[in-house]
A and B are shown apart, each in its own frame.
Chain A
Amino acid sequence: MGFENPSCQLLSKIATNEQHGENSPYFDGWKAYDNDPYHPTQNPNGVIQMGLAENPLSFDLVEEWIRKHPSASICTSEGVQKFRDIAIFQDYHGLTEFRNAVARFMGKVRGGRVTFDPARIVMAGGATGACELITCCLADPGDAFLVPTPYYPGFDRDLKWRTGVQLIPVICESSNNFKITKEALEEAFENAKKSSIKVKGVIIANPSNPLGTTVERETQITLVNFINEKQIHLVCDEIYSATIFSRPNFISIAEIIEEVECNRDLIHIIYSLSKDMGFPGFRVGIVYSYNDAVVDCGRKMSSFGLVSSQTQHFLASMLSDDEFIDHFLKTSSMRLAKRHQTFTSGLEEVGIKCLNSNAGLFCWMDLRPLLKEPTFEAEMVLWRLIVHKVKLNVSPGFSFHCVEPGWFRVCFANMDDETLEIALKRITIFIQATEKNQM
């Protein structure tokens, strides 16, 4: 047997398997949108995109800031004297002013209740890169992380694809509003143990995607006690931390560990500016770890996804403008609240309930009453109906690994007011037609 390679093995398993997750039905909705995108005048019957968790509601504030601060750009006449220093800067520690500004911003988002050490800020290629990076630092191929369901579909790719790490679900149910319970955590841990899988940690999103809820203090304390007892890691993805628009307030894991005794080497935060500021295009991912070795290793790994120095410089300037940031956070929160209110009350008018939520860019919509039967097949049928007939790209609960069929994530921030109205109208018409058919 020679070592020559048969052409079917020319590429790696990673390159040719389905683990990137992009062939999941979740993406069919996107394809439907791409093929037939809604436009108020050019394509008024097209599919409205409600599957994209984006936050452009407060861009006008940012645009105004940019106009007033030309020196934030290294290309304008006001800023070009910095061009060469910035253009050549590839130090994986990141620009000092950038790290300082991000640490400061993170503190602000938490109401100044905790402060962040700029020296613990590690850059990554968006939260996508940050998730993969922290996984590489904490787990070996074959190891596992526990993750509460429902969870962001991207985790399957970010945490597992190239790392070889597994995800074990911690089942959460609607009976208690999908809260994470100690029992569910223990069960997931035991299941892993039975299968001889080494659990290296728990990963949660707070606020949750897709639930749109902040994780309560008690739950976080339960989590900290759980991981501390097992001496496993806790990774908190706080990417939606500044999208809180109503009570209860956001409580960060950074605050919890000030109250609760635990081994801080186990605590890590993932962050990004993609949701809070609405800048997914700038690829600003952050890993914040309380573990020195993780910071050290993570920093070396960040070489694979550093933030463009042009962007670092721009954001250092913007994020350290206290007056602007205070105004931005307040305004953004208000506008999200309004959107959420408009959308949920519109849904309520036709009898559709959403999980009570106080954060995020989406609602977790309960369409169980519309299912022909409580199965995922029925959920898929309903979903296809919504995408192709109602022409709304919403995301089915199945794609978030929800254990109960009938839940859908619907984004409300990524379109203008008029489009949201039209979406609500379409839903209304659909519900009314469904009711009529059932009579």
Chain B
Amino acid sequence: MKLLSRKATCNSHGQDSSYFLGWQEYEKNPYDEVRNPTGIIQMGLAESQLSFDLLESWLAENPDASGFTRNGESIFRELALFQDYHGLPAFKKALAEFMEEIRGNKVTFDPRNLVLTAGATSANETLAFCLAEPGEAFLLPTPYYPGFDRDLKWRTGVEIVPIQCTSSNGFRITESALEDAYQLARKQNLRVKGVLVTNPSNPLGTAVSRPELNLLLSFISAKNIHLISDEIYSGTVFSSPSFVSVMEVLLERNLANTQVWNRVHLVYSLSKDLGLPGFRVGAIYSNNNTVVAAATKMSSFGLVSSQTQYLLSAMLADKKFTKHYIFENQVRLQKRHAMLVRGLKNAGISCLDSNAGLFCWVDMRHLLTSKSFDAEMELWKKIVYQVGLNISPGSSCHCAEPGWFRVCFANMSEETLDLAMQRIKDFVVSTATKSSNTGRSHHLSSKYSARKSLSKWVFRLSFHHDSENER
């Protein structure tokens, strides 16, 4: 008899995907400015290290939150014993208000409809358990976050059917793509229980547009299915168009307290907006009381540490702080984003126009030797091993077109980002040099000046190549 379960021995956790393999390679040879300057630079981790100083100074000014005290009195006992899956009321209130603030106070959230979970990872799995049977399916627009394969499918037995989005329209969700996905599920005998979108999108870095949100609501209404909106990056929108939550659109369309209202659920977390992935703070928000009740009971499998709830309840209740943090963090994200875009452009590489997230969706189709995923893998391996950058290949995000890569920009110092840009540029130059010097060996003895003169020529070459593809 087989010793372990099917879940333990299958591949559904998704960790054999290139997304995670790149991480492993990075771990074997991590870049360090001093100790390992030729190591791999991690650009596959969607984390923000940009605004810790703001958190640290808040902590310095608020000693109570730090050491299990309230007004100087120890509340250790209260926190150590607190395991109520309804969550610390003060924390849920503060979190609900924080979420409202990010949405410009255009929606209100009732803390009683908020369910706390151990990170968004747990929130997404819990919703899958609540909304679907094993063998049923969710539709997800591609490209999507690789972790969804594990979070939505692994232990739940639920399936994912892709809604194919393409570069022809900036990867926007279209009515035909939705319908095609639904029909594809039917052909596979999969009952569709809902659609899950990430807004702003990972890996695209774009806020989902109002027309798309309207389209989604009409679609789920017609098909009588759910909509999960993972809004984990909602606080990272750094330029226009501003973030529009699906909750806002529901109100605009006067859909409050309708059947559709009961089938829209949000997922949130503080891992991206506050840069606290280690604290495992996730949440589900639903207007559907049955979902809230079921999810609350399920949250027993992954509650948020009371110590962490207490700390964050104090932090998020400080409205002056949160307002300043959200604003300043977005300013810093915008700056970093601009830096990455500029650096890539300098190497003849363009990105999808984006206004959110901690990454860019980078177009390297012109660097592929052929229009295939094999070529994408070939290019990816070169970038990881030769260039020394761990970036995420589009195939790991289930992108329908080869040649796209997700590149993170907020998880390293400015200097490291600079170095990464330089490495990319060198790589592009040397690739162009190789391809233009067929048969002739070329020694770049005076590397810098030789590169400089070549780069203009290369830039013109690749730019020309680009315009051919845009036809």
Contact = CB atoms under 8 A, between A and B. Distances in A.
Interface of A: 3-7, 10-16, 20, 22, 54, 56, 59, 62-63, 66, 70, 73-77, 79-80, 83-84, 86-90, 125-126, 128-129, 132, 136-141, 143, 157-158, 162, 198, 200, 231, 233, 265-266, 274, 278-283, 291, 293-294, 297, 300-301, 303-311, 314
Which 7 residue pairs spanning A and B have beta carbons closest together?
Answer: A75-B66, A309-B278, A281-B306, A308-B305, A125-B302, A305-B302, A15-B294
Contacts of B407: none
Contacts of A233: 3
B177 interface: no
B375 interface: no
B129 A304 contact: no
**B interface residue count range (under 10 / 10 to 19 / 20 to 34 / 35 or more):** 35 or more
Interface string B133-148: 1100000000000000
A7 B224 contact: yes
Given A7-B224, A282-B307, A311-B305, A76 B67 contact: yes
Contacts of B49: 84, 88
A205 to B, nearest CB: 18
Nearest to B15: A300
A126 B301 CA distance: 7
B215 interface: no
B63 interface: yes
A75 B279 contact: no
B92 interface: no
B17 to A, nearest CB: 12
A243 to B, nearest CB: 16
Nearest to B193: A5
Interface in B52-99: 52, 55-56, 59-60, 63, 65-68, 74, 76-77, 79-83
B7 A283 contact: no
Interface stretch (B116-124, B247-255, B382-390, B450-458): B116-124
Given A138-B3, A301-B155, 7 more contacts: A7-B224, A59-B76, A75-B67, A233-B3, A280-B80, A282-B80, A303-B150
A66 B67 contact: yes
Interface of B: 1, 3-9, 13, 15, 47, 49, 52, 55-56, 59-60, 63, 65-68, 74, 76-77, 79-83, 118-119, 121-122, 125, 129-134, 150, 154-157, 185-186, 191-193, 223-226, 259, 263, 271, 275-280, 290-291, 294-295, 297-298, 300-308, 311
Contacts of B154: 301
B52 A12 contact: no
A291 B59 CA distance: 42
Contact of A310 (B55, B224, B308): B308
Contacts of B59: 75, 80, 83
A291 B4 CA distance: 10
A20 B297 contact: yes
Contacts of A16: 290, 294
A59 B81 CA distance: 10
Contact of B8 (A76, A136, A309): A136
A306 B81 contact: no
Contacts of A138: 3-5, 8
A11 B81 contact: no
A375 B81 CA distance: 36
Given A66-B67, A303-B150, A137 B5 contact: yes
Contacts of A293: 3-4, 8-9
Contacts of A305: 118, 122, 301-302
Given A54-B81, A280-B83, A281-B83, A87 B132 contact: no
A416 to B, nearest CB: 11
Given A4-B224, A12-B130, A280-B83, A306 B65 contact: no
Nearest to B315: A75
A128 B118 CA distance: 13
A283 B67 contact: no
